[in-house]
Structure 1
Amino acid sequence: MSYQKRRSQKVPVDLKNNMKIEDYFPQVPKEQQNCSSTSQVKVRSRKKPRDITNTQDRGCSFPTKTPEDQTVPLKKTIYVTLNVNHRKNQNMQNVLTYSERASLYEALHTLDAVREEVKTQQGKEMLVCGKERIEGFLNLGMPLSCFPDGSCVEITFSKRVSEQKEDNQVCGRRDWTSTDCVKFYIHAVGKTRKRIVKCGELHKKGNKLCVFGLKGETIKDALCKDGRFLSFLETDCWKLIGKLTSHVESSQEVDAMEGKLYQLEAEKRSSTRVAATATGTQNWELEEHKAYVLQEYIVREYPSLNRERERIRENLKKEMKIRKVNQSSLVKLHRTDFGKQTKNSTPVKTLKLLSQLSDSVGFLRWDNNGSVGCATCFVFTGPFVLTCLHVVHHIVGKGAEQEKWADIIGKCVRVTFTYEEFATKDDNCFLVEPWFEISDVTLDYAVLKLRENGQQVPAGLYNGIAPTPSSGLIYIIGHPEGERKSTDACVVIPQSEREQACARNVRKAMPDSDPEFVHMYTQNSFQKILHNPDVVTYDTTFYWGSSGSPVFDSHGSLVAMHTAGITVAYLGATSHFIEFGSALRPILSDIMEKRKDWYEKECVNQQDVEMLSQED
């Protein structure tokens, strides 16, 4: 029987009437009732048998006593905190002592506070996260034998998305008959394919899932039976990546995995496969009505599109019938702060020059009270580094008052310049001063200041103003996807050819769509880039994590800073239309206007000062 079929089976309706309290708590022989041994516990016969109806409703059934179990199992004690705003004394710990052969789900539901909260939070999923002695978001089907005694866990509740079905609950696997388990951890965000979990609340950088498997079981079986991962794990090829980029195949057994942390790397599905999975029994009349509502909204927002009303309607209907998907997933274009793959032969002389320049490119990472991330920066001059302003926004988080940004940056940011093969330890990193005085939203740049720690700051890359290239080759050095330092050679897209390049890439990504039709949806996103002389446009493979990378011309002169790109989410696949960087010349002009004293002190090229002053 396949795993999918086993997962969808329901517990028989009369289980509640057939199962007795002895099935949960094996009776202690009379001769052992007065035993004081700590390995045995007494059964409290006065307690009313626990109602297991809630367990059946959640799709979770758990192993009962086997005939050979004649002794009461050991108990485990864990501490449970309910993190819900409306509950009085929400941070008060509840002490839970229960049989180690029981599941976490079964044990939690013996607490009155948990049962009451589950009733209050109907329609939501219970998420349990380890806080002390055990880590990560826990599978509710995990036996208590996997928990170190005295573990602390925290319960929150997540909104259940509409596409989650009854057999896709977070309680996960329930097929274990032995407590001889191995637990290991998986990053909630995948490497090549980012979305790997069903619950949107879990899909965040920094989150990790605690997974358990039975000894002798394969890694693939353990993750597929877990219940929290997407179904592509059952059919697609994937593997786990541990420290030092070591790979573990999914066919290996879990026996040696105890306590280890991995990231899942899976092959990306093509748009054809995504379209195939999107088909099914759908109400097309309802979908056409949704398309009509969308069209009416667009026409109201953009009166100039009235003449295109019928054309938009016909195109939407045509695309929906051909693709057999709903309108909400048909076209989603937007600016992405951090695709093309371009390969160019590079002269050895240029490679040597780029190697020297790369010494000044830094890996910037932050941990702001659990909010972690990474980007790229580079030494501009002296102890000052340049990166993107949107990176600073990610660092400080939403809602932070701007006067507090400097302190936040000084506390949580680290920069290393030696991440070329393996990540560098903190003792080899530069801290950042609580200093934030120079930045701009339009040009998306920010200047940060490294804190002296006895290490030699690499040489600054600013060495005078070089012309902004309008064609030819450029080179980007950075840390795409937060990986080791690398270089990408790119072809500059001239300003006069940007619109044609976008249209060409639209046709590649969406071969059955009308580029003009797509362009109407993305007017603002495109116009800001297509006719902006303050950016350099190109095709690159550098996306997330590479914001803030320096851009050099073929002579090794700093000409821009890699900033962002325009992407399209179409039928579940993401394509990249065009990438761009803020040119160095307008950045310097902006610094001159805002902080001329700082520029004249730190940027010693007086000729450039006069040049920028004349331009202003």
Structure 2
Amino acid sequence: MDNKIIERKTKEDLPIRPEEEYAIFFIDKDFGLNCEKKQLFINNALKKIKYVCIYGDKEMTVVEALKKDGRFVDDLVSFYLEDIDKKEQTYECMMKIKFLHGKKFKICMRRGESGKLQGTPGAKGSDNLQETPGAHQKGVSVIRAGERTNDDNTEEIRQILCDQFPQLRALMEERVRQRPFEELLELKKENFGKIQQSFSKVHRVRELLKLSKSVCKIVVYDICVGTGFVLFDDLILTNAHLFDKVQPENDVQVFALFDFELPQPETDYCGFSCEKEFIDIDKELDYAVLKLCPRGKRSKSQSKKSVEIPPGLLKKFGPVPENGEACIIGHPQGDIKKMDPTCIIEEEERIKEINEHVSQYKDNVFIIQSVEHELKNQGIENILKDGAEADKHVTCNTFMYHGSSGSPVFDQSCQVFGLHTAEFTYTWPKGSGESVIEYALPLLHIFNKFVSNLREKNNKTLLARITEEAKGNQHLKNVLDLRPTPDPTPEPVHTN
């Protein structure tokens, strides 16, 4: 045996990733619906255990995870999983395994579908280890050697394993050679572990928690809830679409709730009402700037002591990263404040991400067409590569929607670069809004428009305050230096 070849290292070691990036689920060895007399496993010895533990990257599909596991027949490509604890819940084989974490399933097939489960031990192409020459040279498998006697047979088992090693190694090398070069190249290029590498570092978590004090729950009374954050002083930035249903003739109250972090009834939030007139609102860029009334109060305090507004985030504004990590902090579903580390989906990757989501319906052309039609009506083509608004959106995958509009989006340096705004959804066939991709709006674009609007309104006082707040931030200074602040005496701002 050539030790030099055996001990040769690969050119590039695979990275060790944190456990949060993996999903683990379990497959019952017993057959599910319509799978009787079908072969699932390469090795019959697995029938002696109850569950097979499967793990892999969260973004893998079920099919990919089973194939990479290596214990299932290669032809296992068309099936679905039945949740053992909730039998009414099923998952298609193209579902990403991040949705299966910690659950137990049976492999099932629909009536009339072969599922290509016809692989049998010893059949050509099944890669059954019981067929390897090393095992037959000894005339006994490792399992049988272990079961044959209660005596100490460690040396015999070791010898059998040594005999099988050359054939096993050759088999694995052959499998690698059979994989398309493009697929192997893509695996090399993938930067697994991007998400949460930085945001799991203690000093960054501590900084984000500090900055999150500026994030608040926005309540448009009797209409909707959302998220916002302190811009500077007593100004709040949020999305304009929260006020779409507000009629000019209606006297609607708007509240900003800070420290809404613990479940009821423990939550002791700090509440401010907002003045009725906007400082600025822009439907095109979907942002609104509100002014807080001077006095706030704690929900559980009878004290008349004044409550301070948290520091603003304007000083932390920065450009959109080309790619990499992001973190959203907000109030999804109007719930307590939550944090979601995620990754930016680059322009050229957006169509791939959308297609992967829709592929769960690949067996039903009618559903696919309905979903695509609904997404096109929302203008999803505009945000795809070379689309009219592709560079005006920052896309990601996150659970932060339905109430988290207006959340700040941070990069790995804890600069805030985006205003989390909305998602592209479809309602059929599940009857509820399913999001395929979420997006934020670049904050420097919003800041540029905000400054431009203030200049048009000759609000020199507020512009001077912004200039003072922007000191030390070159990104903001570049926007402010585009043209000089006008000289006329400032007039009161009445925006509605």
Q: With structure 1 as the length reference, what TM-score do the two structures score?
A: 0.40
Q: With structure 2 as the length reference, what TM-score do the two structures score?
A: 0.49
